[in-house]
Chains A and B, each alone.
Chain A
């Protein structure tokens, strides 16, 4: 089960040639700067933009294939589209907005009450859109798209027009949605926050082309991608909550072969959790750190191998990708440190990570 997109389109300002496939179910984040062609993908998938050449297939159903002349109009595709500017119908109540798409399809795999509960919008049903706050409006808009009973959910920068507080209000709803939905989600954003919270896989897009695509953990740990050059660069790991140590107020996470100790987290044991380790917080060492033992405040000393080193001129630094068995972490160090430790691809190193530096982001 998957979603595959192949797209070519000529705009006066940019030529777009994008192809990728996305897992289903799962959230695929299309990430890149404004004007790079992310929204074009969404518009073509929804059928609102007739691309010069494109082929879009969801779980075996062909929505568009210009080579064989197939082009379903938007009203005949079962796609749920969430716009940046919620686009609720002003002359209808929230309830009538929600059921607008549902009334126009016979399919019923997503339940009205479930969606209303999940998004916390029951109290809003009788209200008119103009009386809602920006965050409420966007939640209703997500509900409306879901109740269309779509085969794919398309979200075009759904949080971009909201302030930080409203974003923080909606993100948990989205995170919850993604664990329940059994469908592919394409999510366009240029916010790293949304990417790390929601993405299962990532398609990096720049200037109309795919720079890299793959699972979020793999992409976020690549030293050679533009993502790694950001101030807030950092690798993500998907870990399992192994045990809580109430006496020491710590939680042990197991990430493949590696073990991470973090401040005690309020998460059930056995659950998967996503964590993020900022590159600038990771210290690299060669030699016998373990001998320092209890003389060190550090909890996490992870053995690994340098997989790649890339320059980071913006920070007068270098980025080192350290493979740890299954996952990998990214470390931003000075070029001087690279020279002193004689680091090169293949060098065994230890990645030292303070517990306090590990960002535990919630359910995976």
Chain B
């Protein structure tokens, strides 16, 4: 999340060569087939991959086929959603207020923490909730990178898919779908409610 906020801030406020490249990179997981994202992760973070090997050697962390790996895959997949939401709300935040804060003696970091982020908090929160809900439904990247190990890296859709492959698994699939439906609805309602609360607190 902090990475997403930072990226969003850079994209919203800074003008530099390569900005559109960064923008494209941030949005890549949204457009790439999830299986390709999963495969890329496998290449980079696999036990023999450049980052995976480092993590394994230095910290003894193995990402492939583990819960942490599933989390990473999810995080990468929802990154663009998060960046978009945060960036939109950062762009909507009045730069005049930052100017005012400047004349009142607030430096760059001070302004980011005390003015910009609080003003963008509705977007950040909504982004986080939508990201969470999307995560629950992640399929392609997770199955490619972290496989589908029940109790460890099996996400809801993976479990539903698995249930459907087993004869007589329709009942289980229906139950899991109901769970999935409920979680998604709760996520969306929660983001709506939280967004409205924050907007009220900001006086809009």
List residues of chain A with CB under 8 Å of any chain B CB. Answer: 46-48, 73-81, 83, 85, 87, 89-91, 100-101, 104-105, 128-131, 144-145, 148
**How far apart are A130's CB and chain B's nearest CB, in angstroms?**
3
**How far apart are B170's CB and chain A's nearest CB, in angstroms?**
50
* B96 CB within 8 Å of chain A: yes
Note all chain A residues with C-beta closer than 8 A to B105. 75-76, 78, 101, 104-105, 148
Note all chain B residues with C-beta closer than 8 A to A105. 105
* B102 CB within 8 Å of chain A: yes
* B97 CB within 8 Å of chain A: yes
- Chain-A contact segment, one of B78-86, B130-138, B176-184, B196-204: B196-204
A74 near B118 (CB under 8 angstroms)?
no
Cross-chain contact of A104 among B94, B96, B104, B202 (Cβ < 8 A) = B104
CA of A91 to CA of B204 in the docked complex: distance in angstroms? 10
Apart from A79-B103, A89-B97, 4 more pairs, CB < 8 Å = A74-B99, A76-B105, A91-B202, A104-B104
B 105-138 to A, binary, CB cutoff 8 A, 1 in contact else 0:
1110010000100110000000000000000000
25 A-B pairs with C-beta separation under 8 A: A46-B103, A48-B99, A75-B105, A75-B106, A76-B105, A78-B105, A79-B103, A81-B100, A81-B103, A87-B97, A87-B99, A87-B100, A90-B97, A90-B119, A90-B203, A91-B118, A91-B119, A91-B203, A100-B101, A100-B104, A101-B103, A104-B105, A131-B203, A145-B104, A148-B104
CA of A101 to CA of B100 in the docked complex: distance in angstroms? 10
Note all chain A residues with C-beta closer than 8 A to B201. 91
CA of A76 to CA of B108 in the docked complex: distance in angstroms? 12
**Chain B residue, CB-CB nearest to A147:** B104
**Chain A residue, CB-CB nearest to B105:** A104
Note all chain A residues with C-beta closer than 8 A to B110. 104
A130 near B103 (CB under 8 angstroms)?
no
Note all chain A residues with C-beta closer than 8 A to B97. 87, 89-90
Note all chain B residues with C-beta closer than 8 A to A89. 97, 100-101, 115
B104 near A129 (CB under 8 angstroms)?
no
B203 near A148 (CB under 8 angstroms)?
no
CA of A144 to CA of B105 in the docked complex: distance in angstroms? 12
Q: How many B residues touch A, CB cutoff 8 Å?
A: 20
**How far apart are A49's CB and chain B's nearest CB, in angstroms?**
10
**How far apart are B22's CB and chain A's nearest CB, in angstroms?**
26
**Chain A residue, CB-CB nearest to B111:** A75
**Chain A residue, CB-CB nearest to B201:** A91
Given known A-B contacts A90-B119, A90-B202, A91-B118, A74 and B96 have beta carbons under 8 A apart: no
Note all chain B residues with C-beta closer than 8 A to A76. 105
Q: Which residues of B (87-102) have their CB < 8 Å from a CB of A? A: 94, 96-97, 99-102
Note all chain A residues with C-beta closer than 8 A to B101. 89, 100
CA of A46 to CA of B104 in the docked complex: distance in angstroms? 10
CA of A231 to CA of B150 in the docked complex: distance in angstroms? 86
Cross-chain contact of A74 among B102, B115, B202, B204 (Cβ < 8 A) = B102
CA of A129 to CA of B201 in the docked complex: distance in angstroms? 11
CA of A80 to CA of B110 in the docked complex: distance in angstroms? 18
Given known A-B contacts A89-B97, A90-B119, A101 and B203 have beta carbons under 8 A apart: no
**How far apart are B194's CB and chain A's nearest CB, in angstroms?**
15
Interface centre among A85, A91, A131 (most CB of B within 10 A): A91
**How far apart are B3's CB and chain A's nearest CB, in angstroms?**
24
**Chain A residue, CB-CB nearest to B118:** A91
B96 near A85 (CB under 8 angstroms)?
yes
Q: Which residues of B (48-100) have their CB < 8 Å from a CB of A? A: 94, 96-97, 99-100
Interface centre among B94, B101, B110, B119 (most CB of A within 10 A): B101
A130 near B203 (CB under 8 angstroms)?
yes
Given known A-B contacts A104-B105, A105-B105, A83 and B100 have beta carbons under 8 A apart: yes
CA of A47 to CA of B103 in the docked complex: distance in angstroms? 8
Note all chain A residues with C-beta closer than 8 A to B115. 89
The 7 closest A-B pairs by CB, nearest first: A130-B203, A104-B105, A101-B104, A87-B100, A74-B102, A81-B103, A90-B203
Given known A-B contacts A87-B97, A90-B119, A48 and B102 have beta carbons under 8 A apart: yes
Note all chain B residues with C-beta closer than 8 A to A128. 203
Note all chain B residues with C-beta closer than 8 A to A130. 203-204
**How far apart are A126's CB and chain B's nearest CB, in angstroms?**
14
Note all chain B residues with C-beta closer than 8 A to A148. 103-105
CA of A14 to CA of B18 in the docked complex: distance in angstroms? 33
Note all chain B residues with C-beta closer than 8 A to A91. 118-119, 201-203
**How far apart are A300's CB and chain B's nearest CB, in angstroms?**
47
B203 near A83 (CB under 8 angstroms)?
no
**How far apart are B169's CB and chain A's nearest CB, in angstroms?**
50
Note all chain A residues with C-beta closer than 8 A to B104. 75, 100-101, 104, 144-145, 148
Note all chain B residues with C-beta closer than 8 A to A80. 103
**How far apart are A47's CB and chain B's nearest CB, in angstroms?**
8
**Chain A residue, CB-CB nearest to B104:** A101
**How far apart are B177's CB and chain A's nearest CB, in angstroms?**
40
